[in-house]
Structures are given as structure tokens and as C-alpha cells.
Amino acid sequence: MPHAFSRTTRRVASTTLFLGALAASAAFAPCASAQTVAVNPGTTYQTIRGFGGFGGAGWAPELTGAQVDAAFGTGPGQIGLTIMRMRIDPDPSKWSLQLASAQLAKAKGAILFATPWTPPASMKTNNSLISGRLSTSHYGDYATHLLNFAGAMQAGGAALYGISIQNEPDFDPGTYESCLWNSTEFINFLAGQGSRFGTYKVIATESFNFSKTLTDPILNSATAAPQFDIVAGHLYGVSPSDYPLARSKGKEVWMTEHYTDSTSDANDWTKAMPVALELHNSMVANYNAYVWWYIRRSYGLLTEDGNVSKRGYIMAQFAKYVRPGYVRIAATEKPYADVYVTAFKSSAGKLVVVAINNGTSQRLLQLQVGSAAPAFTKYRTTSVDNDGYAGQYTVSGGVATAYIDPGSINTFVSQ
């Protein structure tokens, strides 16, 4: 069974701000004075690789064509995901189970990466799919196993972008597929086998709590560091944080698995707003990618009936408008104590500003962009809105002025 059902979920403290669906913004008195959001396209941070989720075929029914459209499409009522995470089953005979949905996501421009939860039992010290370690004598066999999966996907029209070495190597659930690794094992495996992966982006370590203690020695290894490309981790029990060492070594930093709550329906607004805050914090932490756990689940981006959930619409406020290749740029992060802002630009100079109002009062923002944009279109998700059109805002004297409602995620897209 996937581990999403076995962990104690982490709740974001701000959840307590919301006791139910918020009333229409007219019920709240707007603030008296505006706060400036200074957007500076000349100061750049990380390049965004994308936003995504886990497909789950093999552990759950495969996504249907309509569900892939809802998750990866960019039209009305769609999320705009650009990354699909896949599972490398230890049994090669089952690899084709997720091929159809991967093909569809790939056709929509998504990048695919795959993660193993365990090597085949025959390659492990305990001859089991649960717990144990990879035998040093099977390092070469294991690399071949991973590359064979990539080859099968390539042959099936679903070529991978990246390959992870191991899911959560520092967490032993004891009840489902897993394998333990330490830093030395990663160093030895990468030093000996890393060059075999060619143009595939090699991903390590997908620690369950984004442990830098696990990845620091690998990054500092002269033999292992050149053999992988992406430092990845999960956010169970921790908050997003910057990783200067990884960036100094030229590695992208990806958050490849999390869910903020699994005890309630994904349309419960009080449990949905923390997703927006975690997305914001991940961007501020210089993450290049953010990947949710199951795409379709009762607590997922799609609910089990295939409809986009509130969590999905919150993800859409980032995913649909901040596209792969966009770069995060400087912007006033907290113009109010309860407002969180990030900004991005495309290579063509298009600006996107995402503003989250986590409070209970309407807020007035002055987006100071100079000559970088003539006007903005706003899209909004609230307890009652779903990534809906929310108006046009002209830039006058280098400034666009806009209210943002309490309990809302607002994306301003330059025209």
C-alpha cells in the first residue's frame, strides 16, 4: 500500500484562520491604505521546471484520458500540470500499466520522471521488497533495471526526463515497498554507475523530510556529485527551506512528494489554503519544481470522480500561468502580515504575480512594475471561485492597483 495512508499528516498553522467557507468579499471592509509590491524583473532567482503530481497506476486505477486532460490541460477547468511522477515497479512485467496515461501527459508537453520504491527482491540484502538494502554486488544490475524501465517507456512513446535512484531512502515503513540507503551507499552507487544514465537527469535522494544531512556528503563528493543533476526531497514533517549548497553545486532542487492533509475531502476549503502557502514557500525556497502526491485521490488535485478539486484549482493558480522556463524574480514577499507574493517572468518578458491573501480582510495592493507591463489580467480561486477571471488592471505611472479578497489566491498575468 502506498505510504500516503500510513503517515501522520502535517497541518499548516494558518489553517485555524478559516472556520468555514468565507463569505463574499463585500461582507468585509476593505483596508484603508494600499501596500506596494515592488516587482523587479532585473533580479532573478530559480528557473521553474514545473508543477506536477504522481500518476499512481499499479497502486490505483490509471488516469483516464479525460482526467489527464483535466490535470495537464491549460483550458478552463483544467490545472495545467507540467510534470508527471511515475513509479518503477520492481516487476518489469507491470511496467506497461502506466504507459497509456504517461503517453497522454507527454503529448501535452509534460516531462516524466520515475521513482523506484524498491529494487527487485533478488538484489536486496533481505531478499524482500520491504525494508533491507541494495546489495553492493548488485549495483550494476540495479542500474540496468532502472535503465530498462526508461527504455521501455522510450519504446512506448513516453520518454523519461529523469530517473530517481530511490524513494525515501531514510524512512523504513515496514509495511510496503521500501529500501534503505545512506550517504556512502549513494556516493558509491553514483560514482560507479552514474555515468551509465547518459542524458537522463539523475535524481537523488528523495528523502522523506528533505534531509540535508543525507545529501550534503553526496554533494561534497568529488566522485558522486558530477553524476547526478537534481536534489529532491519530500516535505513530511518539515517546511520548505533554501538549499544553498545544492545551488552552489549547480543542482536543481525539486520537491517531489507531499500532501498537506489526507483526512478530509480535497474540496474542504480550510484544508485547501495550506496548499497555497506551501506552494508559495517552496517558490521562495528556490525550488525549481513542486510535485504533489496522488493526482487523483479524495485529497488530491482531482477527486476520485475525476473533477478538479479546490486543491487542484489552487495548484492551477501557479501551474497554469507559471510555465516551464519561467524565472522567479524579485517582489515584495509580504506587503501585509497575511499576504504572500511571488513573481515570475518568461523569456519574452511576460510577468506573472501570484498574491495569496491568507487573512480575513480585503487587501489593497499596488503592483509597482514600471514599464515592464502595460496591464494585467487577474485570475482568482476562493471558497466560491475556481481559477476564475477576476478583472483587468491597467498599469498607470508604472503601478497597477488591485484589491485581493480574504481567503484568496490571485494570479496577475501581464498582457
Residues with a known catalytic role: 168, 257
* Strand 252-257 with 230-234, pairing: parallel
Distance, in Å, from the CA atom of 330 to the CA atom of 332, rounded to the nearest integer, reads 7
Which class for 371: exposed (0-12), middle (13-18), buried (19 or more C-beta within 10 A)? Answer: exposed
Residue 163 region, left (φ>0) first, then alpha (ψ -120 to 50), else beta?
A: beta
Distance, in Å, from the CA atom of 62 to the CA atom of 154, rounded to the nearest integer, reads 19
* 363 neighbors 402 (Cβ within 8 angstroms): no
Q: Cell numbers of 290, please?
A: 513542486
- Report the 10 Å Cβ neighbour count for 292: 30
Q: How many CA atoms lie within 13 A of 161 on its CB side?
A: 17
Handedness of CA 294, 299, 301, 302 (dihedral sign): positive
Strand intervals (E) in 276-374:
289-294, 327-331, 339-345, 351-357, 363-368
DSSP 308: B
* 72 neighbors 315 (Cβ within 8 angstroms): no
What ranges in 242-348 are assigned the alpha helix state H? 244-248, 269-284, 310-319
